[in-house]
Amino acid sequence: MVVAVVLQTVVVVVAAPFLVGVLRQVRARWEGRVGQGLLQPWRDLVKLARKEPLQASGSTVVAWVAPVVVLGSGLLLAALVPTVTTAGPARLPADLFVVVSVLLVGTVALGLLGLDAGSAFGGMGSSRHLTIAALVEPTVLLAVYALSVPVGSTALGPIVEGRLADPGRVVAPAGVLAVVALAIAVVAETARIPVDNPSTHLELTMVHEAMVLESSGRDLAAVELGSWLRLSVLLALVANLVVPWGVATAGDGGPGLPALALGVVAVVVKTAASGVVLATAEVFMAKLRLFRVPELLTGSFVLAFLAVTGSYVIG
């Protein structure tokens, strides 16, 4: 079990920058540009990791603690969420409420990082970030809870295994509503279009970028890798809920090496395909005005609520 979790974590850490490279490259191709290549995010991380971080005047201990917390929460998510395998040690429960709590810890740490330097743009980004998070986290809870009702467990592993054992749940009305709501929440949680534009440097529209303007060097590398890990894990979770086949299940005594190898290949292919779909959608979609974002997230919350209702009524 421990070996499976370690393998899963290593795969996610290695693949997360590659996924970001896929997103950027797909967008570049659609926009008629050559692009920087799939490995450019890895080069950026290595370059930043070699630089000494500089802190703004007036910043506090939050400036160097927050990047560690963001990265740590991303690594913990990579270990908890069933991406490669549903197996996991009993002392590391992949429960819905634990996973959402870990997400929230990283969200709050990133918000505090933006506020710490006292800059106008950082405060603006943190305010927007936490407003979005207040609408996203309940949606994630309700959406995954709707998927947990037929299984009778709020652990993510049994939820994926249940959809694998009964493919009818993948196309069930309640399941479809829950996955759509979760997908919208993931887009908002990871600061993608139409909620935020990760490639913009226009101050009036930034959310994520505004919070990390005062970070540099190793601190910026930790924040970026932590954010990429969250994106990779959540996209892989949605992909495994939509297409659960290929995930290595716990079984008796844990998954074997062939099952783990298949799980690694499956999650890489499914997550890369999800990234291609996401990047393609971003090219043909405009960013929403800030005051329209709550309407989108409220709609996703309503879908998640309907999914919970349908799970109890329809089964």
DSSP string for residues in 289-311: PGGGHHHHHHHHHHHHHHHHHHH
pLDDT of residue 252: 46
Please give the Cα distance from 122 to 313 (Å, whole number): 45
pLDDT by residue for the chain (315 residues), tens only, comes to 688 889 999 999 999 999 999 999 999 999 999 989 999 999 999 999 999 998 888 889 999 899 999 999 999 999 999 999 988 766 667 789 999 999 999 999 999 999 998 888 888 899 999 999 999 999 999 999 999 999 998 999 999 999 998 888 889 999 999 999 999 999 999 989 889 887 766 666 778 888 988 899 999 999 999 999 999 999 999 999 999 999 998 764 567 888 899 999 999 999 999 999 999 999 998 888 888 999 999 999 999 999 999 998 876
The label of the residue with tokens 């997360």 reads 16
Cα separation, 137 vs 294, in Å, equals 13
- Amino acid identity, residue 261? A
Secondary structure (DSSP) of 142-194: HHHHHHHTTTT--BHHHHHHHHHH-GGGGSSHHHHHHHHHHHHHHHHHTT-TT
Structure tokens at 26: 């797909």
Helix (H, G, I), strand (E, B) or coil at 248: strand
Structure confidence at residue 95 (pLDDT): 86
Q: What is the DSSP string of 54-92?
A: ---TT--THHHHHHHHHHHHHHHHHHHS-SSBS---TTS
**What is the model's pTM?**
0.94
